[in-house]
Structure 1
C-alpha cells in the first residue's frame, strides 16, 4: 500500500490544483511509514485498512509518549510539531483509503483524539560574528580561493543570508539567477517555473560576486551542463538537504562554534532581524519572503524584537 500511496501523491494535486512538492510527499510518506512500523511492533499483521479509531488512538498516544513529552520536559518544546504534525500527515493516508478502498475515515469519528502542537522554542537568531566567521572559513570571498567545495560553500552561505529556506535554495537552477540585475527568482512549487509564480529575491553585492565565482568553479564539474545550481563534490549529482545540513554544521564547527546552535533555517530568522534592524518595513520583508500573514513576520522577528525596540528608542536621543 505504501507504493500505491506514493504513486497517488505523485500524480495528484493539492487544494490549489498544483502538484505536491517533493518535501510534502516525503512528509506524508514518512507519516505512513511511521504508522506501518508501529503496526508491526504492535503485532498488527493486516494492512492499513485494519486501522480504526481505537487503533489510531493507541498509535498517536504511543508517539506522543515517546516523542513529544521528552521534548517538552527539556524546556525546548517539540519544534517539529510532534504528534500534531504526524496526525496531519497521516490524515492524507486515510483520505486516500476512503477514496480508493471505501475504508471508514477515522477523522470523521469524534472519538479520534486530536493533539495540539507542542510548545515551540524561540528561534535563535545568529549573531553577526557567527555569520562573519562562517564566511571567513569558506574563503571570505577571496578570489584566490578557487577550489570547488570552498567556493560553493561560501556562495551557499551567502545565499542563505538572503533569507531563502533550505528547500528554496536547493531547488535553484542556473536559469533562476540574474546576476546583472542583482536578483534571483525563487520558484516555490514544482512545475511552475515562470517568474509570475516566483518571488524575486534581491541580492547583496558580495552575494552576487560569490555566485559569479561559484559559477566559474562549477564549469569544471562533470554535470555543469545540468540545470541544478548546487552540485555535489567529487563530480556527484545535485546537492540534497542532508549535504546542506552537514555543510552548515561543519562550517560552524570550523569557525569555532557549537554546531548544535545552527541549522540552515537559522539564517531565515537572522535575515528577518537584519532587515528589520536596518529599517526595512515589515510590509517589504513580507513581500520579499512571500509571507501572506503578519503572523509569520511576528514568528520570525520575535527573537530579537525587544533588542530592536531598545535600539530604535536609543536612536531618538534626548526627546526633551
Structure 2
C-alpha cells in the first residue's frame, strides 16, 4: 500500500512491475530470515525486518551471491543470473520506509554495508531481418488467420518493431492511436526520458494496417467497450500483462522455427535502433523518438551491429581516390 500511494524520486507513481520487484525482494529476505535462526550483531535472534542490521544484510547478500548469482557463462552468455546488485537495490525502499515510519536505523546508511556492482553486460543481440520476417509471416493476414488471437499477435509484433518497450506497449489505450497520421503516443515510464508528456511514435504502413485490422476484431471482444486498454486477452480475458506478451513472442518464434530462448520482447528495441541507424536516421532523431536524453543509451542499443554499420558506411563511399 505504501508504494501504491507514494511517488518515485521523479514525482511519478511507481510502475506495477517496480512495486512487484520491491515486494518480491522483501519476501525473499523474509524467507531467508525464517529459514534458520539468524542472529544480528547485538545477539538478537532475527524475527522481523526491524531486527536486521548491516551485518545481517552483508550476510544475506553474500548468501545470495553464492547461491543465486550463477555465472551465465555456463550457458555461453555473459553476466550473472541471480542479480545480487538488483536485490540490493530493490530492498533499499523497504529500509527507507522503516526508517521514516518507525525510526529503524537504515543499514544502507552504514559505511560497512558491502556493495555489489552490477554485472558487466555484453552487447545486446540484434534480431536478424530473416528472423523478424519469418516471425511476422506466422501471423500474417490470410483466409485462415483472421481469428482474434492471430490478428492481435500480428499487430503486437508489428508494434514491437517500432522500438517501444514492453511496458509502453502494454500501457497503450485505444485512444493513443492516431492511425490516419501513422502515429501513436506513449507516456514516458521513467524519469530519465525527455518529457513527462506523451511523445509521438511514427509507424510503418504495415503496422498501421495491422492495427486497423486488430481494431476491427477487437470490437468482438466482451471487454471492447468497457476496457480502454488496447491489448485484450483471448477468450474474453482481461488486458494483457507482461507475462502474456513474453510468451506470445516466445511461441511465435518457436512456430517460425527458431529457438525461443534467443528472443524476448526487448530484443526488438535493439533491432529497431540498429535498423534506423543503418538506414541513415541520425542518432539525434533516434534519441528523440525513444525519449532518451543520454547518448549512452544510443550507444548501448546500437552496439551489436556498430562495426558492420561503419563498414557499410565506408563501402558506400566507393573510391575515394581515382
TM-score range, shorter chain: over 0.9
Task: Mark the CA change 1:80 to 1:173 in structure 2 (over 3 Å): closer, same or farther.
Answer: farther
Distance in 2 separating the partners of 1:80 and 1:165: 21
TM-score normalised by structure 1 residue count: 0.92
1:29 to 23, 28, 40: 23
1:51-81 Cα shifts (integer Å, max 9, x gaps): 1111100111111112224335555233678
Report matched runs for 1:267-282 at 5 Å.
Answer: 267-282=268-283
Q: Which residue of 2 aligns with 1:20?
A: 14
- Using the TM superposition, name which of 13-22 and 96-105 deviates more: 13-22
Shift of 1:213: 0.0
Deviation, structure 1 residue 38 = 1.4
Q: Is the 8 A contact 1:68 1:78 kept in 2?
A: no
- 8 A contact 2:72–2:81 mirrored in 1: no
Residue 39 of structure 2 corresponds to residue 38 of structure 1: no
- Residue aligned with 1:234, SS: helix
Change (3 A) 1:16 1:116: same
CA distance in 1, matches of 2:8, 2:205: 38
Give the aligned partner of residue 122 of structure 2.
Answer: 121
Contact 1:155 1:207 in 2 (8 A): yes
Task: Please give the TM-score of this superposition, normalised by the length of structure 2.
Answer: 0.92
Give secondary structure in 2 for the equivalent of 1:131. Answer: helix
Which shifted more, 293-302 or 44-53? 44-53
Contact 2:188 2:291 in 1 (8 A): no
Say if 2:2 is the partner of 1:8.
Answer: yes
Counterpart contact for 2:34–2:47, Cα < 8 Å: no
Q: How many correspondences in the alignment? A: 309
- Cα distance change, pair 145–69 in 1 and its aligned pair in 2 (3 A): closer
**Partners of 1:215 and 1:75 in 2: CA distance:** 42
The residue that corresponds to 1:206 in the other structure is: 206
Partners of 1:104 and 1:279 lie apart in 2 by: 54
Q: Is 1:217 aligned with 2:211?
A: no
Q: What SS does structure 2 have at the residue aligned with 1:286?
A: helix
> Once superposed, what is the RMSD of the aligned Cα atoms?
1.7
The 8 Å contact of residues 188 and 196 in structure 2, kept in 1 or not, is answered as no
Task: Write the distance in 2 (CA, Å) between the matches of 1:73 and 1:119.
Answer: 16
Structure 2, gaps ≥5 residues long: 39-45
Counterpart for residue 69 of structure 2: 68
Question: Equivalent residue of 2:302, what SS?
Answer: helix
Is the CA contact (8 Å cut-off) linking 1:53 and 1:106 kept in structure 2?
A: yes
Task: Pick closer, same or farther for the CA change 1:74–1:129 going to 2, 3 Å.
Answer: closer
SS of equivalent residue, structure 1 residue 279: coil
Q: 3-state DSSP class of the match of 1:32? A: helix
Change (3 A) 1:150 1:179: same
Per-residue deviation, 1:291: 0.7
The Cα offsets for residues 259-309 of structure 1, whole Å up to 9 and x where unpaired, read as 010000000000000000000000100000011100001111000000100
Q: Deviations over 1:228-260 (max 9, x none)?
A: 000000010001111111110000000000001
1:178 aligns with 2:178: yes
| Aligned counterparts of 1:142 and 1:275: Cα–Cα separation in 2 | 29
Contact kept in structure 1, 2:70 and 2:82, CA below 8 Å: no
Residue-by-residue CA offset, 1:127-185 (whole Å, 9 max, x unaligned): 0000000010012x447731100000000000000001111101100010000110000
**Cα distance in 1 between the residues matched to 2:209 and 2:64:** 47
- Segment drifting more, 227-236 vs 73-82: 73-82
- Asked if 1 retains the 8 angstrom alpha-carbon contact of 2:70 and 2:81, the reply is no
**TM-aligned CA deviation for residue 196 of structure 1:** 6.5
**Secondary structure, counterpart of 2:156 in structure 1:** helix
Aligned-pair CA distance for 1:16? 1.8
